[in-house]
Amino acid sequence: MLLTFEVIAEALRERISSGGLKPGDALPTQAVLMAEFGASSLSVQKAMALLKRDGYAIARPGKGAFVAHPDADTDSGDGEAGNVPVGGTAARVEALELALTETRDQLTALRARVEALEAGGAGRGR
């Protein structure tokens, strides 16, 4: 069973693959996707991170997310776009930065839980 963010990402991949969304088209906004899928903002953000990671989408700061061009290559000047992941390096870096932020947040929450458990167990004769 797919998680909500995976369902959103798969639906958008299908729209892109079928031609419903073409390279350069704006992807639906976070608010639209939240309403369409009954999802949280975090689920939509994770779905967008997957699409960026897999080269289906690119972000343009201040403008939103767009369908990546199949030959998009932000770093290579060698003319071998076929050897570059769709969406180029910039999309992958952005997806990795988002994943890193999410991981840091999860570690912070886990650390707080461990500290709370240790504090609660301190009075039990450790």
- Percent of the chain past pLDDT 90, that is, above it, reads 52
Is the pTM higher than 0.75? The answer reads no
Q: Could you report the per-residue pLDDT of 7-34, keeping only the tens digit for each?
A: 999 999 999 999 999 999 999 999 999 9
Element (H, E) at 49: helix 41-53
d(CA 57, CA 59): 7
Q: What pLDDT score was predicted for residue 13?
A: 94
The per-residue pLDDT for 78 is 37
Across all residues in the chain, what is the average pLDDT? 81
Kindly tell me if the per-residue pLDDT of 73 is higher than 60: no
Under CATH, what is the fold of the domain 4-124? Arc Repressor Mutant, subunit A (1.10.10)
